[in-house]
Amino acid sequence: MRLTGRIAVVTGASQGIGAATALTLARRGSVVVLVARSAEALESVVQRVQGFGGRAVAVPADLTDVDAIGTLAERVLGEFGAPDVLVNNAGAGRWLFLDDTPAAELDAMTALPFSAALHVTRSFLPAMRSRGAGRVVNVNSPVSRMPIPGATGYAASRYALRGLTAALRQDLRGTGVGVSEVVPGKVSSAYFRNNPGAEERIPLVARLIPTVTPERVAEEIARAVERGRDEVVFPWQLKAFDLTNRVLPGVVSYLTWRTGTHR
Ligand SMILES: NC(=O)c1ccc[n+]([C@@H]2O[C@H](COP(=O)([O-])OP(=O)(O)OC[C@H]3O[C@@H](n4cnc5c(N)ncnc54)[C@H](OP(=O)(O)O)[C@@H]3O)[C@@H](O)[C@H]2O)c1
């Protein structure tokens, strides 16, 4: 799908991967709808888009609130109609062992990215289906396929997002609406500052995978939409781990455990 003249909704667009994605899609000619909680940070991304003559609108919303998602969808559908592209990117969550995680924080980890993607997609799906074209992109973590020790709630939410991606792809087969999963390795966003205690838990073996920039992730997302690609795992070193994991899951599991966090 060409991105010129499309309507793209990007969640978690106030910073990091989401902000870079909004800028990239806008540079390719899409009108971008930016969603996150921080109105001020969203507005500064809108201004950057307008700075190069692009079109963007900020719709602040807390995606842990299902009612707020309903209001967001109503506004977007009313003002723009069905989105051509929906990027479910908003995410957060510290890396903690299950029994070290306060119950409320565990609920928050489930709410985002998983439940947010579930409800946001559900809200836009009827309109996207009836138009018979479009693409949903779910941004996921390598932990969605290779769990590491000491990040139970985080991993469960990413596995659930992966399940949603696969199930939705089956549901939408033949409708003209595609589903992509974009899985980068470590990204040089503020994620690890925003979620303290996680970075130290990256297993030593995973540190062989180079860090990528949010702009690189944005480029991969744009390309996944343009080429209709279902799954993009990168950089190639992560792809190699992923492929090894499919053939020899016990080896990857042992290495991530052996070189990961213990208590
Ligand atoms: N960074 C990495 O190394 C990496 C690698 C692979 C995958 N990922 C995944 O990619 C996604 C984005 O990560 P990132 O690196 O861009 O993180 P980030 O820089 O921390 O950005 C997270 C985004 O999510 C938004 N957000 C958080 N809570 C929200 C809520 N309740 N409602 C609406 N928006 C909310 C934040 O905006 P507000 O705070 O303004 O709401 C922000 O825009 C995450 O799911 C992460 O797991 C990250």
pLDDT mean across residues, the chain: 97
Q: Does some domain include residue 126?
A: yes
* Residues 32-66 pLDDT 10s: 999 999 999 999 999 999 999 999 999 999 999 99
Indicate the Cα dihedral angle 146, 150, 151, 155, nearest 10°.
Answer: 30
Across 128-153, average pLDDT: 97
Domain count of the chain?
A: 1
* Residues 10-24 pLDDT 10s: 999 999 999 999 999
Q: Does some domain include residue 211?
A: yes
Per-residue pLDDT band at 79 (split at 50, 70, 90): very high
Q: Residue 263 above 90 pLDDT? A: no
What is the percent of the chain where pLDDT is above 70?
Answer: 100
pLDDT of residue 223: 98
| Helix boundaries (H) for the chain | 16-27, 39-51, 66-80, 103-109, 116-131, 152-172, 191-194, 214-227, 236-247, 249-258
Q: Does some domain include residue 203?
A: yes
* One-letter amino acid for residue 9 of the chain: V
* Residues 183-201 pLDDT 10s: 999 999 999 999 999 999 9
Per-residue pLDDT band at 133 (split at 50, 70, 90): very high
Q: Does some domain include residue 222?
A: yes
Structure tokens at 146: 């290779």
Which residues participate in catalysis according to the annotation?
Answer: 154
State which ligand 1 atom lies nearest to the alpha carbon of 111.
31
Q: Does some domain include residue 1?
A: no
Q: Does some domain include residue 2?
A: no
Residue of 187, 200, 234, 242 to test ligand 1 pocket, by largest number of atoms within 8 Å of CB: 187
Q: Does some domain include residue 199?
A: yes
State which ligand 1 atom lies nearest to the alpha carbon of 14.
43
Residue of 37, 115, 186 to test ligand 1 pocket, by largest number of atoms within 8 Å of CB: 37
State which ligand 1 atom lies nearest to the alpha carbon of 41.
40
- Spacing, Cα 247 to ligand 1 middle (Å): 31
Per-residue pLDDT band at 234 (split at 50, 70, 90): very high
Residue located nearest, by CA, to atom 6 of ligand 1: 141
Q: Does some domain include residue 36?
A: yes
CATH code of the domain containing 237: 3.40.50.720
Residue located nearest, by CA, to atom 34 of ligand 1: 36
Cβ-based neighbour number of residue 183 at 10 Å = 23
Q: Residue 112 above 90 pLDDT? A: yes
CB 38 within 8 A of CB 13: no
pLDDT of residue 237: 97
* Residues 157-178 pLDDT 10s: 999 999 999 999 999 999 999 9
- The packing angle between helices 152-172 and 116-131, to 10°, is 10
- Spacing, Cα 10 to ligand 1 middle (Å): 11
What is the percent of the chain where pLDDT is above 90?
Answer: 100
pLDDT of residue 242: 97
Instruction: Tell me which residue range forms the domain holding 75.
Output: 7-258
